[in-house]
Chains A and B, each alone.
Chain A
């Protein structure tokens, strides 16, 4: 696919977590692109390394992280199944879960994309109120504002 001199690939990165809006993003991609030739999808979950202050002990932290890891593995498997059910081949859908220090989830997602060469990022819209956006920040807004050399789909 080309846009004048720029070439886009057919690799789609869907940034997910366990939220309903992430599920909507996966469902959207499944409905739109399922069964079409040439597309591949990466379901990316960035797992923010929890602040050490949150835990009394290292053991408590590790236990908490293990629980989260298991939960996300199950969620990613579920999303993968949704895409395959929509017509994607098994070899067209990959999953990746990574844990890292993330003061900004949006920046972490964009850094992951930079490493993995996906022309399109898909995220679910959280539907935050204005006060929530001020206090907590919006991942999708930040991705839209900061993404370079790629297209961003924000799924309502």
Chain B
């Protein structure tokens, strides 16, 4: 039951500051314990440590080529004190075997891990921001600042450019931003934390300053010998995606560039995803050798692996300084043409992919 200070009348008054009169609910259901997150619905109120949040939509997970999946434990909400948009991540535990190509490993979701990392990265511009608070049921809820931006994957896939123009005009700026993002992951690793689910759609491009910001740290994986190997593999996949202006798929080359296709061997393909080309210089010969060499670390033909993020940062810095044209002042033109509010901060359920 709501506290006396949170009577229905109080809540109506608070909500009416941020909603048009027709949108203000007649009656609010108030939750202080969110254990059963399915019961927390649109227009309900969640009270956490004295703060009051009006629930809006559930977040949706973007799926490759499939319909979006609703994440009932991730809610968009309005902070009724100041009207700020927030994301509330309620507690949902899951453990499962994840598959990357043919490889299988154990993944799990941990609110504690995400809470710990939120503390660690407070004030760091390379990460989503927020804090964790326990509800009355002992659930560790993460209250996240809403990021006005869209996933890096959408930004790159939405570019209407030929690759060569992209390469000379946009890629240096994109890779500068990406280097900052890799440095942010290095910061996590230096503090003995994994991101756990590094993917191209777990970077949001902030519309305000163009920065790449990592989201979703609640995944973890049971590492074996190389504690950060899976994070590094994720970074490599994003790098190849960025340099290729999207995935370069073997099948597509048959029509787009059959000459390049004829030069490819199995060793030119992704270490795990064997339909993706990694040796992009064979498709786009203007890619510098030094940059292509970085990509080849993630190919089936590689004998040398990156073991630490610092190695990746170092190589990326050298490529940017010595082998690519300087970035244009408008760093990532690709972030234009967004419809405001088009994209939601997403929640994704998978390690890998």
- Interface of A with B (CB < 8 Å)? 51-54, 56, 103-106, 130-139, 142
B225 CB-CB contact with A under 8 Å? yes
CA–CA, A138 and B226, complex, Å: 7
Q: Which of B256-311 contact A (CB under 8 A)?
A: 271-272, 298, 300, 302, 305
* Residue numbers in A under 8 Å from B72 (CB-CB): none
* Residue numbers in B under 8 Å from A134 (CB-CB): 226, 229, 232-233, 271, 298, 302, 305
> Which of B220, B224, B230, B300 is A130 in contact with, Cβ under 8 Å?
B300
Given contacts A52-B112, A53-B108, contact A136 B271 (CB under 8 A): no
In the complex, are the beta carbons of B222 and A54 less than 8 A apart? yes
In the complex, are the beta carbons of B226 and A136 less than 8 A apart? yes
In the complex, are the beta carbons of A135 and B227 less than 8 A apart? no
Interface string of B104-142 (1 = CB under 8 A from A): 010010101100000000000000000000000000000
B93 CB-CB contact with A under 8 Å? yes
- State how many angstroms separate the Cβ of A52 from the closest Cβ of chain B: 7
* Chain B contact patch, size range: 20 to 34
- State how many angstroms separate the Cβ of B240 from the closest Cβ of chain A: 14
The residue in chain A whose Cβ has the minimal distance to the Cβ of B273 is A131
- State how many angstroms separate the Cβ of A67 from the closest Cβ of chain B: 16
In the complex, are the beta carbons of B220 and A136 less than 8 A apart? no
In the complex, are the beta carbons of A105 and B224 less than 8 A apart? yes
> Which of B95, B110, B271 is A131 in contact with, Cβ under 8 Å?
B271
CA–CA, A53 and B193, complex, Å: 11
Known: A136-B225, A137-B223. 15 other contacts (CB 8 A): A52-B112, A53-B108, A53-B110, A54-B108, A54-B222, A105-B224, A131-B101, A131-B300, A134-B302, A135-B226, A135-B230, A136-B105, A136-B224, A136-B229, A137-B225
* Residue numbers in A under 8 Å from B305 (CB-CB): 133-134
- State how many angstroms separate the Cβ of B278 from the closest Cβ of chain A: 12
* Residue numbers in B under 8 Å from A51 (CB-CB): 220, 222
* Residue numbers in A under 8 Å from B101 (CB-CB): 131
> Which of A53, A106, A137 is B220 in contact with, Cβ under 8 Å?
A53
- State how many angstroms separate the Cβ of A4 from the closest Cβ of chain B: 33
CA–CA, A118 and B204, complex, Å: 51
Interface string of B173-197 (1 = CB under 8 A from A): 0000000000000000000100000
B330 CB-CB contact with A under 8 Å? no
B100 CB-CB contact with A under 8 Å? yes
In the complex, are the beta carbons of B110 and A137 less than 8 A apart? no
- State how many angstroms separate the Cβ of B102 from the closest Cβ of chain A: 8
Given contacts A130-B302, A142-B225, contact A135 B108 (CB under 8 A): no
